[in-house]
Structures are given as structure tokens and as C-alpha cells.
Amino acid sequence: DAVAPFNVLMELDKGVLEPTDHTKRRHLSDMHGMYLEEPDEAAGDALVYTVHEIVVPESPDHIQCSTTILQPGRVGREFFMTKGHFHEVRGRSEVYLGLRGEGRLVMATEGGDHAVEHIVPGSVSYVPGGWAHRSVNIGSELLVFFAAYVGDAGHDYATIEDEGLPVLLTDAPDGPRVERNPRYTQ
């Protein structure tokens, strides 16, 4: 699992990595059931977000790094967001560095505690182990951030897939609002 030193160049405002080892794209159809409302048919299968990854061995000796580019948009009153996950190895923590746009980082423990932090250019958010995390684009332009986390963390999407997190980010007349998630029962 030895890796030679290397450099990657990031386009700060686009989140594009050169070179990129792996890119994944999530469309509305990949988010089925995660929003309270179903998307309008007119929205088609819109792109919601793109993740560019620097691939290194999935071991605690390494640090996984990626950029996420979240499109602006809404489904019903909810802003476009990532699926969100716990790390499979619950204790593994992560750091988010905001690069562009305006977002929120919604975090929650399995016990139901929650926290909401801002993602803006220059924000550094610490996601401690045991906290599920989801990013939300509350602005009208791209939200771009860089993430780094312990190599063997893995992703557990299933735990929050059905009920989501304790709170939602909705577009209210007076601005973005943190609302209780009516589907969350814990």
C-alpha cells in the first residue's frame, strides 16, 4: 500500500481535479425518496452533483480526497443536496473546505443530535466520527467544496436513506430555513 508522492491541480471555482482518478454523478433518479416531494416531471433527470475523487488505498494510513460540485436547484421546497451518509467505520472523521457558493452542512448522530454549519469559500468544517453528513446548496450558483477523510472510512448510505436527517433545508420567503424533518422518527 505504498504510494509515491504526487500532485493534483484543482480548478478552485469548478472543483475539477487534473488528473481525476474517478468521477461519479448523481441525478434526481439516484435520489429517489430522499426528498419529501417527488421532483416535477419537467425537471427530467437533472444532474444534482458530481464528485471527483483522488483514489488512494482504503487504509487508515491514507487520506481520501475529493471535490463535490452541487448544482443549484430545488425539489419542492427543499434545496438540492447530496445523499448523505455515515462513514461505515463510524469513528472516521472528515474535513470540508468550502471553495465556491453558499451551502449548509447538515450533520447528525445516530442518537438524533444534529448540527448545521455554513459552507462558504474558506470555511473549514470538521465532521467528527459518528456524525452523518449531507451538504446542501442554498444558493443560485454552484456549491463547490473539497473533502478529506481517513482512508478506510467507507460510506454507509442505507442508515439515513429512508428517514433522512432530523432537519431539512427549505427555501422560505425570508431565506433558507432549517425545518424539522417530519419523516424522522428517532
C-beta of 147: minimal distance to ligand 6PG in Å?
4
Out of ligand 6PG, Ni ion, none, which partner does residue 82 contact, by CB within 5 to 8 A per kind? ligand 6PG
C-alpha 51/C-alpha 26 separation (Å) is 9
> Does residue 83 interact with ligand 6PG by CB under 6 A?
yes
Q: Which of 31, 73, 27, 26 is nearest to 161 (CA)?
A: 31
Question: H or E element: which one contains 161?
Answer: helix 158-161
| Of 130 and 175, CB closest to ligand 6PG | 130
Coil/strand/helix, residue 142:
coil
Minimum CB distance to ligand 6PG, residue 173 (Å): 29
Instruction: Give me the residues paired with residue 127 across strands.
Output: 94
Task: Tell me: does residue 62 bind ligand 6PG (CB under 6 A).
Answer: no
Q: Is 85 in the site for ligand 6PG (CB under 6 A)?
A: yes
| Residue whose C-beta lies closest to Ni ion | 94
- Map the footprint of Ni ion across residues 92-111, applying CB under 5 A: 94
Contact between residue 72 and residue 141 where contact means Cβ atoms under 8 Å apart:
yes
- By CB under 6 A, name the one of 34, 39, 52, 66 that touches ligand 6PG: 66
Judged by beta carbon distances under 5 to 8 A according to partner kind, the member of Ni ion, ligand 6PG, none in contact with residue 66 is ligand 6PG
Contact between residue 23 and residue 53 where contact means Cβ atoms under 8 Å apart: yes
- Residue 180 is placed in which grid cell? 424539522
The interface with ligand 6PG within residues 110-169 (CB under 6 A) comprises 133, 135, 147, 149, 155
Q: Find the shortest distance in angstroms from Cβ 88 to Ni ion.
A: 10
105 and 143 Cβ atoms separated by less than 8 Å: no
Task: Provide the minimum distance between the beta carbon of 182 and Ni ion in the complex, in angstroms, as a whole number.
Answer: 25
Strand, coil or helix: what is 186? coil
Cα 157 from Cα 30, distance rounded (Å): 12
Instruction: Give the count of residues interacting with ligand 6PG (CB under 6 A).
Output: 13
Choose the stretch contacting ligand 6PG; rule: CB under 6 A; options: 5-13, 76-84, 111-119, 166-174: 76-84
Question: Which grid cell sits at 112?
Answer: 438524533
